[in-house]
Structure 1
Amino acid sequence: MNKIEKALLGKLKEHKNCSRKNCQINVFKKRYYIGPENIKITNYLRTRPIAIFNPGAVLNGKKLHIFPRLIFDYYKYTSSIGVFSLDVEKLLRGETSKNIETEIILWPQQLWEFLGCEDARVTIHKDSYYLLYTGKGYYYGEKNELLRRDVLGFAELDQNYTPKRKGYFSIEDEGESFLPKTTKDSAFIKITGNNASMLTRFEVGNTLACWHASGNLESLAFNIEDIEPVLLPESWEHKVGWSTNTVKLSDDEYLVGWHAVLKEDLSYRNGLALVDGNGKLKAVSDYLLTPIGLNEEYGDRAMVIFGDGLIIYQDKLLWIGGVSDYCIGIFIARLEDIMKELIFCNR
């Protein structure tokens, strides 16, 4: 076992979770949907995807930029990432076009993303869009065999959504480099120069948990000394992960969505957490957003609401997520109601 993986396992064993319960309350009262039939692709021969889900989102004034995962291929399920824009006030009223013009901006071009570019989390930094996404692809093992791996992709895009550069993150320690089995479900907290305080999810020792890490945006590397676990699965959960970008509430408070897959029915259920600028968990909720009814429970992967965009507009919190791997859901709650459900950690 790599020494970096051993160090990460040691940190997992020492971690104590902030207490959560297996219960839920529905605080997202308004729910709207955008399906693949509402989308018109403008820069590809195929103009209608068969699925559109797991969208990142950022707000610029009243313009909401949404970055969905797009599927066109039934057999290979290969994903790309697109972008479209909506007026946030019209969206809050449930008004959307039947032909939303959408452009593909990221698609598989490298071996490490050969099977798809998935699940963008988006941050505006200076004059660029910073995207964290899952690169679903391959690598060559020690015996030159082709092996599967998911990596944490990073893309920097200009204001026209043209990529300036892209690559993927690894973990470094004294000149050694390591990639966990999977690294995904990540978000920026704050960026200072080339250094970023980040939330990420590693698979270490068959445990899928939420971590904090400091990333170098030039080398795309995490330093092992700056990686700490934040949220581990409870006994009734298969895994947990971060679901959304972070939104800043105060000088040192950031709200972020998280998800868990439950053992009892394999559903994805979602909550919210409050972290500081260094990723320390200050408060966490129980489940606040779960799939309800036919439109949300039935799809290519049943019983899922997943990520990826979190937006505050006036007194509202918008969770913009994928629904059962086929459409986009817009889930709206009062921020005041959300904050009442956060349970502060006593540590």
Structure 2
Amino acid sequence: MFVVERDKHNPILSPKAEHDWESAGAFNCCPVGGSDRESDKLFLVYRAESKSRLQDGIRRPVSSIGVASRSRGGDFDDRRQLIKPEEVWEKFGCEDPRVTKLGKFHYIFYTALSVYPFRSEGIRVALAKTDEKMNIIEKHPVTTFNAKAMALFPKKIRGKFAALLTVNTDNPPAEICYVEFERESDMWSPEFWENFKTDIPSHALKVRRTDNEQVELGAPPILTSKGWLLIYSHIQGYFNGSRHFGIEALLLDKDNPRKIIGRTKGAFMIPEEYYEQVGQVPNIVFPSGATIEGENLQIYYGGADTHSCIARINLKKFLDALLGKTELLKRGPDNPILSPRSDKAFEVRGTFNPAAVDIKGTVYLFYRAVSSDNISTWGFAASRDGLCIDERSSEAVYVPRVDFEKNGCEDPRATLIGERVIVFYTAYDGTTPRVAATSIAVADILARKWKWDMPQLITLASVSNKDACILPRQIDGKYMIVHRLDDVICADLVESLEWRDEPVRSCIPIIRPRPGMWDGAKVGLACPLVETTEGWLLFYHGVSHTTHYRVGVALLDRDNPTSVRARSAFPIFEPVEDYEWKGAVPGVVFPCGVVRRGDTLLIYYGAADTVVGVATAKVSDILTILKSHKNKKK
């Protein structure tokens, strides 16, 4: 698991009104170190865009390439125009530079525009070679066909110059291709590229997952202990009009970069911040550079084709994710711990999604039981060690009692407050699911006397509402209820535990879906929140438009739990085992209960809407990843 932290100073570059050549945009930046040892200077090359102006008889914005520099830790306040349209093969613009230092030189590949209106045959790669102080030595047109986004490897591969480029970006589908050069001059040799063009498939990396996607190289490759790390742009829904720009990554073999040895399962960054959503081209995050700074991968990217920005990720955790090591939760050895019993009519179709509460060293579970007529009630089970079931009821311990729940009482979540266990659940009347609340005395649970309070509806009749819990202590003198309205996890604050007049009437957003990511279609609360010294852990389920139920986690502020301090970029738990894939609803893991014992969390979940599993996790492990990332985001 890892989280993405945007730099608190973002955007690090923005348009500058006093420089006409960058008055509309300063974006898609790429960093490289310089030779000034006294100041440890860092250079940043970037795409600069002017406002509309008359050039060659045409009024339009003009792109060029700027360079900014700073001493490490300072601001990029020294900015100048580095590459501008001069030659016939770049006369209509120079875009999106990628820079690599190899030996004593910087190699800056960029997009050269030779025709207007723009069309594929006039959009090609060009190269500027500079010295260590970013003074241009020579410039060349490179490809003889449509291509963009080219970058050199920072060391030779098997004695050859090596590069990646994106072919047919404007005549899709595009391909990210690997290429090697015997000599430096091969990089701009027309004969070399005409030969390359005859066999593009043999150079292409298998990056696209579907035919409805577009890909483009992002940052120049970075060498890590696990292989070459490649950050790239992955656009979903490219051809059907529902485009989602995201950032993904590949891990390439250290000795054979044609071989992909690891990859992200989806986007780990999408446009979320204002400077990513509002600009010349809204809703774009576009990776263009990367460095390793200590333990972190630092990604440079463009926001909304207007600004340059930075995001950070723990490198080790990121590489683990690329290699498939993403789950923090460990399944119990005897899973599933509860399964339907064919001789018990109340649960013959399913036993899943259990509430959990720890009382005097025993875990008590109230699980959703589904009968043959598809009505949900609750069964009961108990476990001393939390992993194996020691006791189980022979009949339902909670059943529908009023009209608003006549079609079922679903997905309970339990919270211990004082000497009562308060349970929120989904009450279904056959039309609109709503949140209801009931409670029971601890003494009655211990005595196995199921004296539940009469249920009360706490959400409005006019909206569908599910997935709710109450925090175990007050926040600023009020009780906070977490619930899901539509596809958003939100909160409301209530004065008391008296459930009269449908008290939940507000939605203070906490977690929203992230379109283009694993949780892009909908999110919902998993189990009740867990308080730690660093804040509240909120586990949630998420679904994309193309995949199944998975689980993520967020860290909420301890004093203001509507404020998100960090959120996992990838799921921490997903369906893997047969019992999670085979059942009434295949491919579902759905936690509803959690118990904390010291540093260990016992998380109880429904699998495939059929059985109950348990998984464990260390609070300290989760906090180690989450707690250092303090940016507040919705």
Instruction: Report the equivalent of 2:464.
Output: 182
Instruction: Report the equivalent of 2:489.
Output: 210
Rounded Cα–Cα distance in structure 2 between residues aligned with 1:111 and 1:68: 21
Residue 596 of structure 2 aligns with an amino acid whose one-letter code is I
Q: CA RMSD in A?
A: 3.0
Classify the secondary structure of the residue corresponding to 2:528.
strand
Rounded Cα–Cα distance in structure 2 between residues aligned with 1:244 and 1:70: 18
Instruction: Report the equivalent of 1:35.
Output: 338
Map residues 99-178 of structure 1 onto 2, 5 A cutoff: 100-101=392-393, 103-138=395-430, 148-159=431-442, 160=444, 161-170=450-459, 178=460
**CA pair 259-232 structure 1, distance change in 2 beyond 3 A:** same
Give the C-alpha shift of residue 180 in structure 1.
Answer: 4.4
The answer on 1:53 being equivalent to 2:334 is no
Classify the secondary structure of the residue corresponding to 2:352.
strand
Rounded Cα–Cα distance in structure 1 between residues aligned with 2:461 and 2:587: 30
Rounded Cα–Cα distance in structure 1 between residues aligned with 2:437 and 2:457: 6
Instruction: Report the equivalent of 1:270.
Output: 551
Larger Rg: 2
Residue 604 of structure 2: which of 320, 325, 328 is its match?
A: 320
Give the C-alpha shift of residue 277 in structure 1.
Answer: 4.4
Give the C-alpha shift of residue 242 in structure 1.
Answer: 0.6
**CA pair 37-106 structure 1, distance change in 2 beyond 3 A:** closer
**CA pair 223-183 structure 1, distance change in 2 beyond 3 A:** closer
Give the C-alpha shift of residue 314 in structure 1.
Answer: 2.4
After TM superposition, the score normalised by the length of structure 1 is 0.77
Q: Which runs of 5+ in 2 are unaligned?
A: 1-271, 275-310, 445-449
Give the C-alpha shift of residue 248 in structure 1.
Answer: 1.8
Contact 1:212-1:230 at 8 Å conserved across structures: yes
Task: Figure out how many residues of one structure are paired with residues of the other and give that number.
Answer: 298
Give the C-alpha shift of residue 102 in structure 1.
Answer: 5.1
Contact 1:118-1:135 at 8 Å conserved across structures: yes
Give the C-alpha shift of residue 38 in structure 1.
Answer: 6.6
Per-residue Cα deviation, 1:124-173 (whole angstroms, up to 9, x for no partner): 122211000000115xxxxxxxxx10000100212323112311113xxx
Contact 1:30-1:333 at 8 Å conserved across structures: no
Contact 2:331-2:613 at 8 Å conserved across structures: no
The answer on 1:78 being equivalent to 2:363 is no
User: Whose strand fraction is larger, Structure 1's or Structure 2's?
Assistant: 1
Residue 341 of structure 1 aligns with an amino acid whose one-letter code is I
**CA pair 315-220 structure 1, distance change in 2 beyond 3 A:** farther
Residue 133 of structure 1 aligns with an amino acid whose one-letter code is Y
Give the C-alpha shift of residue 50 in structure 1.
Answer: 3.0
Instruction: Report the equivalent of 1:199.
Output: 482
Contact 2:330-2:616 at 8 Å conserved across structures: yes
Give the C-alpha shift of residue 106 in structure 1.
Answer: 1.9
Rounded Cα–Cα distance in structure 1 between residues aligned with 2:433 and 2:428: 5
Contact 1:185-1:242 at 8 Å conserved across structures: yes
**CA pair 191-336 structure 1, distance change in 2 beyond 3 A:** closer
Residue 85 of structure 1 aligns with an amino acid whose one-letter code is A
Rounded Cα–Cα distance in structure 2 between residues aligned with 1:248 and 1:39: 39
Rounded Cα–Cα distance in structure 1 between residues aligned with 2:484 and 2:576: 26
Give the C-alpha shift of residue 40 in structure 1.
Answer: 8.4
The answer on 1:346 being equivalent to 2:631 is yes
Rounded Cα–Cα distance in structure 1 between residues aligned with 2:380 and 2:473: 23
Residue 310 of structure 1: which of 579, 589, 594 is its match?
A: 594
Rounded Cα–Cα distance in structure 1 between residues aligned with 2:424 and 2:347: 25
Contact 1:241-1:260 at 8 Å conserved across structures: yes
Instruction: Report the equivalent of 1:4.
Output: none
Residue 232 of structure 1: which of 507, 512, 516 is its match?
A: 512
Instruction: Report the equivalent of 2:618.
Output: 334
Give the C-alpha shift of residue 345 in structure 1.
Answer: 4.5
Residue 34 of structure 1 aligns with an amino acid whose one-letter code is I
Residue 342 of structure 1 aligns with an amino acid whose one-letter code is L
**CA pair 223-100 structure 1, distance change in 2 beyond 3 A:** closer
Contact 2:380-2:392 at 8 Å conserved across structures: no
Instruction: Report the equivalent of 2:581.
Output: 297
Give the C-alpha shift of residue 49 in structure 1.
Answer: 3.1
**CA pair 69-223 structure 1, distance change in 2 beyond 3 A:** closer
Per-residue Cα deviation, 1:8-46 (whole angstroms, up to 9, x for no partner): xxxxxxx969x99998811112332123257986xxxx4
Rounded Cα–Cα distance in structure 2 between residues aligned with 1:195 and 1:83: 31
Rounded Cα–Cα distance in structure 2 between residues aligned with 1:328 and 1:182: 26
**CA pair 184-220 structure 1, distance change in 2 beyond 3 A:** farther
Instruction: Report the equivalent of 1:258.
Output: 540
**CA pair 220-245 structure 1, distance change in 2 beyond 3 A:** farther
Rounded Cα–Cα distance in structure 2 between residues aligned with 1:345 and 1:320: 28
**CA pair 271-40 structure 1, distance change in 2 beyond 3 A:** farther
Per-residue Cα deviation, 1:27-75 (whole angstroms, up to 9, x for no partner): 112332123257986xxxx4763310000101123200111000121xx
**CA pair 189-72 structure 1, distance change in 2 beyond 3 A:** same
Classify the secondary structure of the residue corresponding to 2:579.
helix
**CA pair 72-272 structure 1, distance change in 2 beyond 3 A:** same
Contact 2:525-2:539 at 8 Å conserved across structures: yes
Residue 549 of structure 2 aligns with an amino acid whose one-letter code is Y
Give the C-alpha shift of residue 288 in structure 1.
Answer: 0.4
Instruction: Report the equivalent of 2:384.
Output: 87
Residue 336 of structure 2 aligns with an amino acid whose one-letter code is Y
Residue 467 of structure 2 aligns with an amino acid whose one-letter code is D
Give the C-alpha shift of residue 81 in structure 1.
Answer: 1.5
**CA pair 221-279 structure 1, distance change in 2 beyond 3 A:** farther
Give the C-alpha shift of residue 302 in structure 1.
Answer: 0.9
Contact 2:379-2:393 at 8 Å conserved across structures: no
Rounded Cα–Cα distance in structure 1 between residues aligned with 2:605 and 2:468: 15
Per-residue Cα deviation, 1:80-117 (whole angstroms, up to 9, x for no partner): 022221102xx44xx445x7335523212222111100
Rounded Cα–Cα distance in structure 2 between residues aligned with 1:134 and 1:65: 20
Per-residue Cα deviation, 1:276-322 (whole angstroms, up to 9, x for no partner): 34422222223101010322112101110002011211221211010
**CA pair 108-96 structure 1, distance change in 2 beyond 3 A:** closer
Greater relative contact order (CA < 8 Å, ≥ 6 in sequence): 1
Classify the secondary structure of the residue corresponding to 1:106.
coil
Higher deviation after alignment, 318-327 or 284-293:
284-293
Rounded Cα–Cα distance in structure 2 between residues aligned with 1:47 and 1:217: 31
Q: Which runs of 5+ in 1 are unaligned?
A: 1-14, 139-147, 171-177
Give the C-alpha shift of residue 212 in structure 1.
Answer: 1.3
Rounded Cα–Cα distance in structure 2 between residues aligned with 1:38 and 1:341: 40
